[in-house]
Structure 1
Amino acid sequence: MHATLPSSARAQPATGPVGKLELVVAARAPTTPTGLTLSKEGRMFLFMPRFDEHTVFTAGELFPDGRVVPYPSEAANRPDPARAADTLFHVPNGVFDSRNRLWLLDAGLMASSGEPVAGAAKLVCIDPAANGVLRTISLQAVVTPTSSLNDLRVDLRPGREAAYITDQGQTGEGALIAVDLASGRALRRLGGHDSTRSVPGLLKIVEGRTLLKRKADGSTSPIQGGANGIALSPDGTRLYYSPLMSRQLYAVDTAALLDESRDDGAVAATVQDLGEKGLTGGLAADSRDRIYLSLQEFNGVGRRDPDGQVEVLATDPRLIWPDTFWITDEGWLYLSSAQANRRPEHNGGTDRQEPPYAIFRMRIDAGPA
């Protein structure tokens, strides 16, 4: 069923020096758009993980009229195990770097579960001017049979070109992955560490209903969600992250993540528990080192200040499962309404998603980290 977004719904006034949530576009995406990014020219891209056979393409460009077109091409979005490095399988997110190149994270999955296809887990760098692939970096060496790569940040600065990735895991045992972009070397970090692991027994309520895996026969099972959202500090020295099923926010030293001479114990020694921030999906940091929070239980946007104070900036009933953020140089915070809680696996096999999918933005008093 396709439903229009009600014009009568209005965002609540912000409690801080920001604007209200504005509906930018109603995206006619074919399925759950978990990822969102914008180029410096304002081109917008959505990413739809291949949860099932209904995912006709996994990476797309979103146009102002709501159309979503396969990107960089329809052919590239046809997963082919015989051409695993050259086709897109399951892209949960993508980001632009400071050189305005688009990086896609491909988890290499053919469904929401199952072993990644051999050679399909990768980073793909695209030149948006030519809409062509510049480089592909394999992640085969750092994925496991139960990996589910989820989120991505790319950091380019003098002396360091790196990518950081979360592996949510299909059993709740998450991890972080650090990639040296100069060499293409990838390291799997903090696998099974408390900070990357799904917290058992955690209650998550979205749209007034407990979030569970629900089968058609009425049986249920708990959600497992390890390391999910990530954000980088403005100076690039700390990576913020949190499991999907955890209320805690963590930070780890990025130099430790990238240093292959340090073992996991040495990396773990740099992990900080920054306290509770609510149940979230995506995270983003601004130039003032404040972290924006996708408050999925409240259909809202929150923000954590460096002193640990958390506030709710805005809520909107149309903001269903807020997921990925993107901050522009002009001081706009964009975010997607993914409706992931309405997917069939949470509703006894019935797809309760109601396209189009809302894309919002709000004015903030800072730029990207």
Structure 2
Amino acid sequence: MTDRRTLLTGALLLAGGPALAAPEANSGAHSEVSASRPVGGLELALAADAPSTPTGLAISRSGRVFVMMPRFTAQVPITVGEVMPDGTVTPYPDAQANRPDPGRPQASLFHVPNGVFDRDDTLWLLDAGLPEGKGAPVPGGAKLVQVDLGQNRVLRVVPLDSGITPTSSLNDLRVGSRDGRPVAYITDQGQGEEGAILAVDLQSGLVMRRLDGHASTKSQKGIVKFVEDRPVMQTKGDGPPQHPKGGANGIALSPDGTRLYYAPLMGRRLYAVETAGLLDPKASDAAVAATVQDLGEKGMTGGLTTDSQDRIYLSLQEHNAVGRREPDGRISVLAADPRLVWADTFWITPDRWLYVSAAQVNRRPEFNGGRDLQKPPYAILRMRIDADPVDGR
């Protein structure tokens, strides 16, 4: 049998791109991300042979690619990995850090759904502290972890315990600055219908839980999500299939850092809130809620991101597509590709490439009666855009 790594080596699709290799077309699972002619403007940047579902994606300025694999079950071997040029994924920052240890909650990674780079090109990882994707977070396990790429070592850990609940499921992260101080924003998707947003002053370590139970952060009732021509239905134990729930999920920052865009996983509307109130410990919940804007319909999405023109990119999961919302509210579909199965996390590089991960979440066992229909390697696609990334200043 041909060695799996050999199948991943393949021909380069990235003309002039640094060490991001794509696989050759092969039979079997690898045909899912074959180097066929791009459809609708997307091309295959990399096929990540990840050991589990890679929902998160972050790319450094030097071109290093990282994926985050939430520990949906205890069997997930690593939760953060670096994607090598041949598509293999190695534990990051090392194997030891990826071994969950409730006795050392600040020193080990439990369930990392996402990570981002700041303006200094240091990596921030969001750890939800969940031992196997559900249940109460491990005490001390929910945290932000700052990693120095030069030395591949942890610089700082910011505990998030004061901002979470026993049913929290932290999901997405943005790091920026506000009034000259470093800040972070985190969505709490929750494990039921409730959601929230966490605002973190990275200078003091103060964590504020905002919009807890607000209509804009809740899982919306009566919503059906279709992916790959099928409704996404979740099975828990011996119970009947149910529509999944999910509160505040994707987030993005405006170029000037004054507004945070967000949306529930199970919801078709996009919202915005002023960051000044999120970060002000003296602001009441009512005052923060008063700044929430309903920006209208945007389709069923996972991850969001913004560019320097304040345009919001939408992972249109029901259409295997990338959409974009203009500041005036107009939405267009930029590209579609059958390889973009469960479009999830975006990343914009300084040379104006928009990357998006295909996480295949809908193919996981809990959505298919216990059958694992995921087909590694997982596609990371990209397309050219005409704007720069946002640094959240």
Using the size of structure 2 for normalisation, the TM-score is: 0.90
- Of 198, 202, 214 in structure 2, the residue corresponding to residue 177 of structure 1 is 198
- Give the CA deviation at 1:274: 0.4
Please tell me whether residue 12 in structure 1 is matched to residue 39 in structure 2.
yes
Corresponding letter in the other structure for 1:208: D
Equivalent residue runs for 1:247-266 within 5 Å: 247-266=268-287
Please tell me whether residue 246 in structure 1 is matched to residue 267 in structure 2.
yes
Please tell me whether residue 3 in structure 1 is matched to residue 24 in structure 2.
no
Which residue number corresponds to residue 222 of structure 2? 201
The SS at the match of 1:151 is: strand
Please tell me whether residue 36 in structure 1 is matched to residue 63 in structure 2.
no
The Cα RMSD (Å) is 1.3
Using the size of structure 1 for normalisation, the TM-score is: 0.96
Please tell me whether residue 67 in structure 1 is matched to residue 94 in structure 2.
no
Counterpart CA distance in 2 for 1:215 and 1:110 is 17
Please tell me whether residue 281 in structure 1 is matched to residue 308 in structure 2.
no
Which residue number corresponds to residue 188 of structure 1? 209
Equivalent residue runs for 1:120-139 within 5 Å: 120-139=141-160
- Give the CA deviation at 1:40: 0.9
- Give the CA deviation at 1:315: 0.5
- Give the CA deviation at 1:222: 1.9
- Give the CA deviation at 1:112: 2.0
The SS at the match of 1:257 is: helix
The SS at the match of 2:132 is: coil
* Equivalent residue pairs, number: 363
Equivalent residue runs for 1:1-369 within 5 Å: 2-5=29-32, 7=34, 9-13=36-40, 20-156=41-177, 159-214=180-235, 219-369=240-390
Contact 2:33 2:47 in 1 (8 A): no
**Which sections of structure 1, spanning at least 5 residues, go unmatched?**
14-19
Counterpart CA distance in 2 for 1:243 and 1:5 is 29
Counterpart CA distance in 2 for 1:10 and 1:175 is 41
Corresponding letter in the other structure for 2:306: A
The SS at the match of 2:319 is: coil
Which residue number corresponds to residue 17 of structure 1? none
Counterpart CA distance in 1 for 2:261 and 2:121 is 23
Counterpart CA distance in 1 for 2:313 and 2:132 is 29
The SS at the match of 2:130 is: coil
Does the C-alpha gap of structure 1 residues 158 and 269 become closer, same or farther in structure 2, counting only changes over 3 Å?
A: closer
The SS at the match of 2:62 is: coil
1:52-88 CA-to-partner distances (Å, cap 9, x unmatched) read: 0221000010111101000000000001000001100
Contact 1:336 1:359 in 2 (8 A): yes
Contact 1:215 1:348 in 2 (8 A): no
The SS at the match of 1:334 is: strand
Contact 1:328 1:368 in 2 (8 A): yes
Counterpart CA distance in 1 for 2:178 and 2:277 is 17
Contact 1:166 1:229 in 2 (8 A): yes
Contact 2:295 2:329 in 1 (8 A): yes
Which residue number corresponds to residue 6 of structure 2? none
The higher relative CO (CA closer than 8 Å, separation ≥ 6) is in 1
Counterpart CA distance in 1 for 2:78 and 2:34 is 29
Does the C-alpha gap of structure 1 residues 267 and 40 become closer, same or farther in structure 2, counting only changes over 3 Å?
A: same
Counterpart CA distance in 1 for 2:179 and 2:349 is 22
Counterpart CA distance in 2 for 1:174 and 1:329 is 33
- Give the CA deviation at 1:181: 0.6
1:312-369 CA-to-partner distances (Å, cap 9, x unmatched) read: 1111101100100011111011110000000010000111100000011111000112
- Give the CA deviation at 1:9: 4.9
- Give the CA deviation at 1:22: 1.1
Counterpart CA distance in 1 for 2:296 and 2:282 is 29
**Which sections of structure 2, spanning at least 5 residues, go unmatched?**
1-27
Corresponding letter in the other structure for 1:189: R
